[in-house]
Amino acid sequence: MTMKKWLLGLPASALAGAVAGLPYKTDTVHYELSSPKLQSDVTLVLISDLHNDAPKNRRAELVRTIRDLHPDLILMPGDMAEEHDHQDHTLAFFRELKGIPMYYSTGNHEQYRWDLTELLCKFQQEGVTVLREEAEEVNVRGNLLEIGGISCRYKMREYSPEEVNRIFHTDHLRILLSHKPDWIDLYRKIHADYFVCGHAHGGQWCIPGTRIGVMAPSQGFLPKYISGVHEVGEGKMIVSRGLVRHYHRIPRLFNNPEIVVLHICPESGQNQESA
């Protein structure tokens, strides 16, 4: 092959590679966790960063997948709606999941909307429990859990550890919904068992065959906290890659959206992942 043909072939090869990396499906990723605070198994589904990306056909697929998992609860740490007036698909998504308890805290795209109060009222009308600097005790299969949520303020320093710790009132299994995984320095000072986050979109573009992301908001290039389970002080932080298939019209590459399933059992064990 001549140099000229090789150079002419580069754009076509790059395009073919990019097309191959587009998100053709939504992964379902399972993590097995354990806690001495449980008496029986619980199954929690973690979804985040939908950004209203749930037109009818995709919404039906997502709802069917989630219902087939038979979760006890759905946890949603933010950015389920878009930053402007777009939330019709999100509201329909919630409506079609009614019957499964849903817990939500705001993401940055919702927190700074001019109509935030009205938006959160709409979420509640569709069966979503909105947690803003508060926690709620819930009984799941005979286990008592305390699920808290904090709003996605602009800077981590707008929260003090004392303020966040005060939202919890029991010694039950504590779960904190908080949008940003890069707030990990705050989470290390919080007395919770699990922190569930989103925001990073899995790094948006990943190096093929890896979970190494190119960039994430608030973390910059080659971000560390974009997916998976991370040790955080006495607890663990679980980061969702989110559900949106693009970000401001920039598609994901080699980085499918995901539904995260947390299987938490009473016995000790190791984390495992499968997709």
Residue 199 located in a structural domain: yes
Residue 15 located in a structural domain: no
pLDDT, tens only, 76-115: 999 999 988 789 999 999 999 999 999 999 999 999 899 9
The DSSP annotation for 221-258 comes to ES-S-SSEEEEETTEEEEE---S-SEETTEE-BS---E
**Taking the CA of residue 270 as centre, how many other CA atoms within 13 Å lie in the half-sphere pointing to its CB?**
2
pLDDT at 71: 98
Residue 218 located in a structural domain: yes
Residue 2 located in a structural domain: no
pLDDT, tens only, 146-203: 999 999 999 999 999 999 999 999 999 999 999 999 999 999 999 999 999 999 999 9
Residue 100 located in a structural domain: yes
Residue 9 located in a structural domain: no
The DSSP annotation for the chain comes to --HHHHHHHHHHHHHHHHHHTS--S-EEEEEEEE-TT-SS-EEEEE----TT---HHHHHHHHHHHHHT--SEEEE-S--S-SSS--HHHHHHHHHTTTS-EEE---HHHHT-TTHHHHHHHHHHTTEEE-SSEEEEEEETTEEEEEEE----SSGGGS-HHHHHTT--SSSEEEEE-S-GGGHHHHTTS--SEEEE--SGGGSBB-TTS--BSEETTTEES-S-SSEEEEETTEEEEE---S-SEETTEE-BS---EEEEEEEESS-----EE-
Residue 225 located in a structural domain: yes
pTM of the model: 0.90
CATH number of the domain enclosing 198? 3.60.21.10
Contact 94, 74 (CB under 8 A): no
Q: Which domain holds residue 254?
A: 29-274
pLDDT at 83: 86
The count of domains in the chain is 1
pLDDT band at 259 (very low <50, low <70, confident <90, very high): very high
pLDDT at 250: 87
Residue 51 located in a structural domain: yes
pLDDT at 18: 46
d(CA 121, CA 105): 13
